[in-house]
């Protein structure tokens, strides 16, 4: 895959406010690295004609895009928070280019405060319950006590902090707890569980 990359010098990291990287989750750190990579090869001469915004490998859509401007041989990169120039070429061939920038590229989507969530709207007034008419069933209920209702339950195994689930058709793992209240727990898994 052709992927030019920007090479961030050690000096760029020293220009960050203390604790900037420590405040990021592991997922955010991965997105920050991906924000320094564009999915197509761009040679130094192509920066003159590149269309903005330039998509990066981070996030979806244009949420993590860069803007590139040029003046002569000077290539400027702007994120909305970071403004820097390409200060050199670390490596280039016909498929890959690595450029050096003197500041860490900070995406707006990750480093600007999120607006507070809107207050929930008031619940609608409860409707008055209506009584359902009592209707006698003409058919006696079917006795299912002897029926074979066995369903193959998933096989759940744990190793350290990982919970693996196997159904015979699907193997996946629990990636997050979505909801729990002591009686019910809902877990996020990476695949749909298919039962035999």
CATH code of 84's domain: 2.30.180.10
Q: Are residues 97 and 164 in the same domain?
A: no
Query: What average pLDDT does range 6-20 have in this prediction?
Result: 70
Is 34 a member of any domain? yes
Tell me the per-residue pLDDT of 59-108, one tens digit each, with 9 for 90 and over. Answer: 776 668 889 999 988 999 998 888 999 988 888 888 889 998 888 888 88
Query: What average pLDDT does range 139-144 have in this prediction?
Result: 46
Residue 159: give the domain boundaries.
Answer: 155-189
- How many domains is the chain partitioned into structurally? 2
pLDDT band of 16, cuts 50, 70, 90: confident
Q: Are residues 184 and 99 in the same domain?
A: no
pLDDT band of 3, cuts 50, 70, 90: low
Given a contact cutoff of 8 angstroms between Cβ atoms, the answer to whether 188 and 176 are in contact is yes
pTM, entire model: 0.53
Q: Is the pLDDT of residue 30 over 90?
A: no
Tell me the per-residue pLDDT of 121-137, one tens digit each, with 9 for 90 and over. Answer: 776 766 665 555 554 54
């Amino acid at each position: 895959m052709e992927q030019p990359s920007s090479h961030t010098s050690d000096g760029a990291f020293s220009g960050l406010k203390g604790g900037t990287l420590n405040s990021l989750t592991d997922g955010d750190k991965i997105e920050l690295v991906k924000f320094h990579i564009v999915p197509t090869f761009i040679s130094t001469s192509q920066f003159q004609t590149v269309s903005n915004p330039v998509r990066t490998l981070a996030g979806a859509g244009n949420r993590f895009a860069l803007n590139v401007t040029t003046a002569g041989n000077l290539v400027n990169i702007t994120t909305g928070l970071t403004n820097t120039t390409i200060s050199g070429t670390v490596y280039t061939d016909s498929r890959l280019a690595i450029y050096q920038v003197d500041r860490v590229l900070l995406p707006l989507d990750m480093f600007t405060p999120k607006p507070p969530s809107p207050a929930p709207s008031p619940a609608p007034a409860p409707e008055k319950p209506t009584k359902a008419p009592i209707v006698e069933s003409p058919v006696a209920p079917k006795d299912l006590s002897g029926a074979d209702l066995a369903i193959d339950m998933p096989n759940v195994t744990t190793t350290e902090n990982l919970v693996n689930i196997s159904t015979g058709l699907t193997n996946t793992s629990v990636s997050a707890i979505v909801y729990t209240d002591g009686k019910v727990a809902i877990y996020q898994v990476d695949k749909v569980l298919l039962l035999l």
